[in-house]
Amino acid sequence: MNQHIKSVAGYEVLDSRGFPTVCAKVILNDGTTGIASVPSGASKGMFEAAELRDSNRNRYFSLGVKKAVDNINNIIAPALKGTSTCNQTTIDKIMIDTDGTSNKQKLGANATLAVSLAVARAAAKFLSIPLYRYLGGINAHKLPVPMMNILNGGVHANNNVDIQEFMIVPTGAKSFHEGLRWCSEIYHTLGVILKNKGLSTNVGDEGGYAPNLAADEEAIELILSAIQKAQYNVNQVKIALDAASSEWFNTENYTMPKRQKTFQTDELIEYWYNLCNKYPIVSIEDALGEQDWNGWETLTQALGEQVQLVGDDLFATNSARLNRGIKQNVANSILIKPNQIGTLTETLHTIETAKNAGYTTIISHRSGETEDTFIADIAIATNCAQIKSGAPCRSERVSKYNRLLMIENEINEPFFNQPQNKKSFAKKFAPVPIKNFSSAVNSYHHQSQNNLNTNTATNSSSTLLKRGFLVEV
């Protein structure tokens, strides 16, 4: 009975933006304690589980989380008392059933997730095994590739850049610590370049630099210069983008809010198409809006064979939305943010669903983070292809990288994405130009729905394996 829950308590703590978030503590009968805190995003999709905030304008500008904390202390705690902490599925189901809503608006996903993660951490401590081993068993033995945000825009930065994240991906590195070193060196080199050009080296919410630029494309040019000046090349380090274009979408078109540039859906797809064929871009997240399913189908047809197309707002870590995407042949990758769904069990289920369909998985932080390193352990436990944790300059970001370094020392394994005795990941992922964008789009529009539903080539495991996002073990 020692592994059973004795008490659960919730607390209001601060995230990296200095606003409240939820922390939970689970204590077992033998005194074992598990503590977890949850992040909060500034760029939120409309299909995310509900983050419960107070309406008291006199506290934290109505952003307090006392209600969510009270739900932990007064509703969740009694419901879970006496339950075995080693039965994660049962515990999460109790919270889901107690909430009784489709998006956790009663208890708050920030309350349920904090408890869910704290329970898992307590169970791992009780069993005296690392958290990643408790979550993933003997199969937890591969490290993710860092997808490091080094220049910020969008709602994450007070500048004139609309694309939210410009990231580097060390595809040619042979280990996590080597890839992390490359990224850090390039990041700091970029800072020197910006300073020498008289541009701001202030940072955004996720630690990336946030200068004002003549055009969003200039950010890519600056990063390529930093890669070269740091003595690397584009066969070793690639570019990834997070457009966060749900922020741009209205009922008829897309308008970049800072530059006031407007696109129709096909025009925006062509914009990404041209950008990918001009620069060494291997991944684009939320290239289109979360409700633009027809556009996503066209985008996947046009770019799905050469670029990782990541659904964040589109899928919201929700297996039901992901299944729709799989059926419609939309995207080929999913961003995993546990606070979008609200429990560990549901998070792991979504990851499993994605992998079974041949989609790559990227575990991700949020812009409003805490020092909690849980996502690093999830990445290892589930062999996620990549991890997003921000720039190497703020402790709430660096803590995840440091946790992965410690795990790497424990398991002594190579990159998850680095095939052994094969050609480099980077060479496999070199963009293959599409000769005629308009023809590609037009031909796709004329496909029957039946053909669309049966065409799974872009999302097959074999295709992704060829591109280096999966590795045979």
Of 103, 128, 153, which residue sits at a domain end?
128
Instruction: Inform me whether the pLDDT recorded for 419 exceeds 90.
Output: no
Considering the domain architecture, whether residues 329 and 385 belong to the same structural domain is answered as yes
- Whether 471 maps to a domain, the answer reads no
- Please give the residue range of the domain that contains residue 194: 145-466
> DSSP class of residue 311?
E
Instruction: Inform me whether the pLDDT recorded for 454 exceeds 50.
Output: no
Say how far apart CA 388 and CA 281 lie, in whole Å.
16
Instruction: Inform me whether the pLDDT recorded for 430 exceeds 80.
Output: no
Q: What is the mean pLDDT of residues 411-417?
A: 65
- Whether 133 maps to a domain, the answer reads no
Considering the domain architecture, whether residues 121 and 262 belong to the same structural domain is answered as no
- 28-71 pLDDT, tens per residue? 999 999 999 999 987 778 999 999 999 899 999 999 999 999 99
Of 76, 103, 128, which residue sits at a domain end?
128
Considering the domain architecture, whether residues 317 and 454 belong to the same structural domain is answered as yes
- 223-273 pLDDT, tens per residue? 999 999 999 999 999 999 999 999 898 878 999 999 999 999 999 999 999
Of 97, 128, 159, which residue sits at a domain end?
128
Q: What is the pLDDT of residue 438?
A: 47
| CATH code, domain carrying 330 | 3.20.20.120
| Residue 346 host element (H or E) | helix 344-356
- 159-177 pLDDT, tens per residue? 999 999 999 999 999 999 9
- Whether 137 maps to a domain, the answer reads no
Considering the domain architecture, whether residues 199 and 295 belong to the same structural domain is answered as yes
Q: What is the mean pLDDT of residues 438-461?
A: 36
Q: What is the pLDDT of residue 156?
A: 83
Q: What is the pLDDT of residue 252?
A: 81
Considering the domain architecture, whether residues 176 and 93 belong to the same structural domain is answered as no
Say how far apart CA 410 and CA 408 lie, in whole Å.
5
- Whether 73 maps to a domain, the answer reads yes
- Whether 135 maps to a domain, the answer reads no
Considering the domain architecture, whether residues 105 and 244 belong to the same structural domain is answered as no
Instruction: Inform me whether the pLDDT recorded for 333 exceeds 50.
Output: yes
User: Which runs of consecutive H residues, i.e. helices, occur in 204-281?
Assistant: 216-229, 265-278
Q: What is the pLDDT of residue 412?
A: 78
- Whether 226 maps to a domain, the answer reads yes
The residues assigned a catalytic role are 206, 337
* Inter-residue contact 404 to 376 (CB < 8 Å): yes
- Whether 134 maps to a domain, the answer reads no
Considering the domain architecture, whether residues 111 and 83 belong to the same structural domain is answered as yes
Say how far apart CA 148 and CA 293 lie, in whole Å.
28
Considering the domain architecture, whether residues 120 and 151 belong to the same structural domain is answered as no
Helical axes 265-278 vs 437-445, angle rounded to 10°: 140
Say how far apart CA 28 and CA 127 lie, in whole Å.
12
- Whether 235 maps to a domain, the answer reads yes
* Higher pLDDT pick, 17 / 433: 17
> In the chain, how many domains are there?
2
- 172-212 pLDDT, tens per residue? 999 999 999 999 999 999 999 999 999 999 999 999 999 99
| CATH code, domain carrying 72 | 3.30.390.10
Point out the least confidently predicted range of 194-198, 298-302, 435-439, 449-453: 449-453
